[in-house]
Amino acid sequence: MVHYCRGKSKRIMKEIFAYVIGLGAAVMMPIIFTVLGVCIGIKPGKALKSGLLVGVGFVGLGVVTALLTSSLGPALKGMTELYHLNLPYFDLGWPAAAAVAYSCAVGAFIIPVCLGVNLLMLVTKTTRTVNIDLWNYWHFAFLGAMVFFATDSLAWAFYAAIVLYVITLCMADFTAKGFQSYYKDMNGISIPQPFCQSFTPFAVAVSWVLDRIPGFSKFDIDAEGMKRKFGLLGEPLFLGLVIGCGIGALRCDSWKGTVDSIPQILKLGVTVGAVMELIPRITGLFIEGLKPICDMIRQHLEKRPDQTIKQSQSNNPNQTIKQSNNQTILIGMSPALVIGHPTTLVVSILLIPVILFLSVFLPGNKFLPLASLAGMFYLFPCVLPITKGNVPKTFVVGLVALVAGLFFVTNLTPAFTKAIEAANCDGISVPEGFEGGGSLDFASALWCWAVFHLTVTLKWGGAVLAGVLALAMCAVNFIRIRRTK
């Protein structure tokens, strides 16, 4: 009887959270922001408008991303067939991973568990981020699902998901200052998304190396500098047009075929250029919707009573100085807020054909990215504050990270495939003729790959090491928060 009740409760929880996640970010995030706005003192009408603008942003981003995928997909597939760019691992894209993530017990409980961990870290002052980006919790759930199907242990699955969540929150805090300084109107915002934060170490390491190469500093040019130097040629709109036409032309097998396909080639070029132009305008809706909420949070923080501390190095030991509590809390948001940055658009569209061809010739790689290429924009939100928007530097960082990511995906695909098969989700399977399925959007992330192998491959020793890493990052963050205060 007890076992039956527990099983029934688990099914109910699973159905509830599957329903909530099934609403999608376009519905879920407006509800969250409307409620949050009312709770912090914004008038209901204004809070509702803010939430709806965020929802409109997600809808617009989904439409534009789908447009890019549907336009580039056939052209890229034609290229792979024409040049025999066939590899044994199929690109299922992030929707497959998200669906599997919430099809097991880990997904059913991941949101309340992670919110509980977030609350504990806030209380213990090991993070300043309140992660309300519930839609992207599927990253933690999917890692847990992979670990669960690999170990048949729910305990290890939750352990891996929690470790990844803790690491991500700490990384969000570590990168928040640079993120807010680089992007406009992002005060009080951090990015607690494991995919984005996984490329921060690559950005730091590659930037350090490039800064020490003689003469590389001469290539210090950002997207705005490209516009000034090259005029129309430096515009993301024009670059999208050129890259789109180039991909369209490369799918043709002869000069006659190219001439006959000119209308389709031009249409693809204009479509890719339109995407490059529309994404910044759509992300502006996110900022417009978030602004009243961020402003109200900032007002609350500024109204908090100042603390007084002893001025230890003063001649007068009784003298005190004021210390503000401003910026003590960060709102964890989706990286979709900033993917419209010109450097992100330019570098992403340049990397698509490069990484497609490199994937075929890299020894040991078995994964051909196709469905995941539309998510290329999400690689750079936390990279740009480190590279300062330098286009050549950002391109090199992206190239190195993606090359490493291809090997991560190849390595994780067997576990990825096992999770997909075990979850048995409708409509999600590896097509015939392929040995397995993966996704660049998830499996190329450094932190996801590392935590999986620490808990599954290295077992107890690796699990302890993963826990020590998470606790060490918490300790460092605790010290940083104390010093900030």
Residues 109-150: pLDDT tens digits?
Answer: 887 899 899 999 999 999 999 898 877 888 998 899 899 989
- Chain position carrying tokens 């504990």: 120
Residue 388 lies in a domain: yes
- In degrees, rounded to 5, the angle at the alpha carbon of residue 459 between the alpha carbons of residues 454 and 460 is 105
Question: Is the pLDDT score of 14 beyond 90?
Answer: no
262-303 and 342-361 are packed helices; what angle lies between their axes, rounded to 10 degrees?
Answer: 130
Determine the Cα–Cα distance for residues 473 and 419; give it in Å rounded to an integer.
29
What pLDDT, on the 0 to 100 scale, is given for residue 312? 41
Question: Is the pLDDT score of 309 beyond 70?
Answer: no
- From residue 221, give the alpha-carbon distance in Å to each of 183, 229, 236, 394: 17, 9, 14, 10
93: left (phi over 0), alpha (psi -120 to 50) or beta: left
Decide if 358 contacts 168 (C-beta within 8 A).
no
Residue 153 lies in a domain: yes
What total of structural domains would you count in the chain? 1
Which domain, by its residues, includes 249?
2-301+325-484
Q: Tell me the DSSP string of 244-286.
A: HHHHHHHT-SSHHHHHHTHHHHHHHHHHHHHHHHHHHHHHHHH
Per DSSP, 90 falls in state E
DSSP three-state, residue 117: helix
Residues 62-112: pLDDT tens digits?
Answer: 787 777 777 777 877 777 777 666 778 888 877 778 777 777 777 778 878
Residue 344 lies in a domain: yes
Determine the Cα–Cα distance for residues 355 and 389; give it in Å rounded to an integer.
20
Model pTM score: 0.80
Residue 37 lies in a domain: yes
Residue 362 lies in a domain: yes
Residue 313 lies in a domain: no
Residues 351-404: pLDDT tens digits?
Answer: 988 888 888 888 889 898 877 877 788 899 999 999 998 989 999 999 999 999
Phi, psi of 389, rounded to the nearest 5 degrees: 75, 10
**Closest to 379 in 3D by CA, of 296, 286, 283, 446:** 446
Mean predicted lDDT score pLDDT of the chain: 81
Determine the Cα–Cα distance for residues 200 and 197; give it in Å rounded to an integer.
5
Residue 316 lies in a domain: no
Residue 311 lies in a domain: no
